[in-house]
Structure 1
């Protein structure tokens, strides 16, 4: 038998470590190619990891709650050498307890192919594509026993290549040529949607299948229809294998004493803290406030809830606030920008990826709705609902939190009137929405009870001066005070 190792992949596009939240398998369990074996939390999100080969779990190298560097082995699997999938490096010698029966003669066709022909099964781990030098080979059929002496190895009954009907050699099942390159979250998505990755046309760098490729394949497989997009956070040498990891909660255990409790900061919370410190002391923040009457908007929300054409949609004030922000960006396009420090340039964005701050058990995350500026009210509602549900389930992917341009944070749900929000790194503005309360207000020359709220806009003063920021905030308030402007200004 052969022991194959599964390494922690780079699931977050450049992240260096991840915390193992939960194991779904134990030593002795049978696993198949594509089966999810564990859930890990990176600095951006929780991700499920599928294993890229078949076999029986030999050992779990890390317990739940452990932070592991990318590239470290996290699980070993005992596989049949003849059915091994090309592309993942197996150890040169698998330790065995005692010599086994003499092996059958090794067929010539079972010779290991040149390393240059091998391909990694998943992006971020596996065989290095730049390597063309293979390891020195031991004598055929030998492995090293625990006492250091040579012991015969188990040899597969079938050669790695089989002859086709016309007599030519056919690649073995599971060969690298038949596998598509894709990251673990993409493989999981394809599995959930019932899409065979081998049939998907890749558009990513180096022939990598992306999430967009899978969604496109799924849409094409169903029918020519338009579907609303669903959008909704150094270790030493590996320890000895653990046969039965202790129960460790998904959240890091707090170290408690009689007078204080210490909670390790890691994962989403750690990166959020670093990003906020970097943003606060890099981008010069300016915050402006405006308090106004939103009674008409609240009436429109109720009318839209009763509209049979919008039945089944989640209609709330946040939906119309998001629409008002998009209208205000259209009237003030220069606010939708970023600062390029290296080039000392302002980069104007001709798209709006609208971020929505979401509080989750793992900390505050800000996924964004891609290309929100072209969405209808229905599509925007569906995207908001999907974004929030995905975030609360802890399933927001790193891609959903990247490339945001402007963010909305709704502190009003906590009964808070306003605040001074901190920009997300790389974004130009963030809008804090306060609680909507019934207050005395001068309306048509008389004091009447009206629905009133306060907005707070923080913006990067390198990109947005006081005039532009003030006009942008005033336009948002004007739309929400007189929501017919959603039509007249659009």
Structure 2
């Protein structure tokens, strides 16, 4: 028998310290090799540390909430000769990828042991059709840190797959995005009253009824998602007059990145109102397509394709500025800004420019699942070239986004909702959104920025342009 001291390993990425977040074992517990001992937080990620030994937990040397340097003993484990793994060095936890240029730290990564997401039900479609952050109810969100219980996690929580449509109806589903106007929502009077009482727009609800009708469950699910981003009640003031939150870990990294971006790159911002009715129609057609069965489809998918198309026509927005040169990237690693309980992260879809619409939809879905489960790795954060941030899920019309560090462009998608709009001299109800964008003015001149945003808007107005 011997007593081994397990020290805080090198977590990579040039980091030298970490905070002990939560112990997963207690003195006297019998553990095996690779069993998770503790959850730590660095400025880059939330990581579960596995044990290199099999044995019995002795003493926990560092309490939760304490920040310690790499190499500090944090726990003792009593082992025998058969239980130890002396030939294997203490694992280096964390990805070996280069530091991400994202404005904040990546979501939790678990290289040695998979994270265990909290239990929860299925989530619904985004009320605006676009995405930035998760639409899942608080109960369905992973709550890896106790102080964050109930917080929403990643952008665009996925809905249950829509039922397959009749092949006779879907044979020409995606032949062309140029389609007729959106048909009426099928829902019984009691369902319509329920939706009105709960403040749910039936046009944004994905129906799951046997004849394509909206059910009571559909409305309740959508209402629960909307409530995540709205203050349902006003809480009482706490007894303490002030609350002090230490600036460390991810929050410290976010603050530093935001300041660096805002005061290094001179931002210029533009805005445009867009009639998104045809995009909404196209999305509804895709949802009933057998090719897209079981795949998350939302207007963000069309937005992503629009940006890739516009980047090809205006490559300077996909560049990065250094003191010596401007590097223009002829590929698109499309970043999707996401809010998590630990802060803002920006994972990106690698080589999005090479993907078909279906491949891109699947990639966005996988990105979402990974973020929801807390498994976004530093490598998935690195190498982004341009970013989408969706404030529409909060019901916001527009905003002035701050650039992701190392990028020259970021586009903000506002909420998509029906508004009066002049069409052929007549005022009609149309689905309208506002697209905002910020650019690094050292790289992108006003004419390039304007042409790029106009190109994005043209696709949202008429997705058929993607077929050219």
Would you call these one fold, judging by a TM-score over 0.5?
yes
The answer (yes or no) to whether the contact 2:279–2:460 under 8 Å persists in 1 is yes
Query: Measured at CA, do residues 400 and 124 of structure 1 come closer, stay the same or move farther in structure 2, by a change above 3 Å?
Result: closer
Which residue in 1 is equivalent to 2:208?
none
Which residue in 2 is equivalent to 1:27?
27
TM-score by length of 1: 0.65
The aligned runs of 1:170-181 (5 Å cut-off) are: none
Q: Which runs of 5+ in 2 are unaligned?
A: 95-108, 117-132, 134-144, 150-237
Which residue in 1 is equivalent to 2:89?
120
The aligned runs of 1:176-187 (5 Å cut-off) are: 185-187=110-112
The aligned runs of 1:43-62 (5 Å cut-off) are: 43-62=43-62
Task: Say whether residues 1:42 and 2:24 are aligned partners.
Answer: no
Query: Measured at CA, do residues 277 and 295 of structure 1 come closer, stay the same or move farther in structure 2, by a change above 3 Å?
Result: same
Per-residue CA deviation, residues 14-42 of structure 1 (Å, 9 max, x unaligned), is 12222222222111112222222222222
The aligned runs of 1:28-427 (5 Å cut-off) are: 28-81=28-81, 84-86=84-86, 120-123=89-92, 185-188=110-113, 249-250=146-147, 258-341=240-323, 344-427=324-407
Task: Say whether residues 1:449 and 2:374 are aligned partners.
Answer: no
Query: Measured at CA, do residues 33 and 369 of structure 1 come closer, stay the same or move farther in structure 2, by a change above 3 Å?
Result: same
Query: Measured at CA, do residues 410 and 280 of structure 1 come closer, stay the same or move farther in structure 2, by a change above 3 Å?
Result: same
SS class of match (1:449): strand
The answer (yes or no) to whether the contact 1:8–1:71 under 8 Å persists in 2 is yes
Which residue in 2 is equivalent to 1:18?
18
Per-residue CA deviation, residues 46-75 of structure 1 (Å, 9 max, x unaligned), is 222111222221122222232222222222
Q: Distance in 2 between matches of 1:186 and 1:361?
A: 20
Query: Measured at CA, do residues 82 and 385 of structure 1 come closer, stay the same or move farther in structure 2, by a change above 3 Å?
Result: closer
Query: Measured at CA, do residues 14 and 462 of structure 1 come closer, stay the same or move farther in structure 2, by a change above 3 Å?
Result: same
Q: Distance in 2 between matches of 1:11 and 1:407?
A: 27
- Cα displacement (A) at 1:264: 2.1
SS class of match (2:92): coil
Q: Distance in 1 between matches of 2:360 and 2:403?
A: 23
Q: Distance in 1 between matches of 2:65 and 2:363?
A: 32
Q: Distance in 2 between matches of 1:31 and 1:353?
A: 41
The answer (yes or no) to whether the contact 1:64–1:250 under 8 Å persists in 2 is no
The answer (yes or no) to whether the contact 2:18–2:70 under 8 Å persists in 1 is yes
SS class of match (1:188): coil
From 470, 473, 485, the counterpart of 2:450 = 470
- Cα displacement (A) at 1:331: 1.6
Query: Measured at CA, do residues 329 and 392 of structure 1 come closer, stay the same or move farther in structure 2, by a change above 3 Å?
Result: same
Number of equivalenced pairs: 339
SS class of match (1:297): helix
The answer (yes or no) to whether the contact 1:412–1:433 under 8 Å persists in 2 is yes
From 439, 443, 457, the counterpart of 1:459 = 439
The answer (yes or no) to whether the contact 2:9–2:90 under 8 Å persists in 1 is no
Which entry has the higher C-alpha Rg, 1 or 2? Answer: 1
The answer (yes or no) to whether the contact 1:65–1:250 under 8 Å persists in 2 is no
Query: Measured at CA, do residues 305 and 367 of structure 1 come closer, stay the same or move farther in structure 2, by a change above 3 Å?
Result: same
TM-score by length of 2: 0.68
The answer (yes or no) to whether the contact 2:387–2:411 under 8 Å persists in 1 is yes
**Higher RCO (C-alpha under 8 Å, 6+ residues apart):** 2
- Cα displacement (A) at 1:260: 1.8
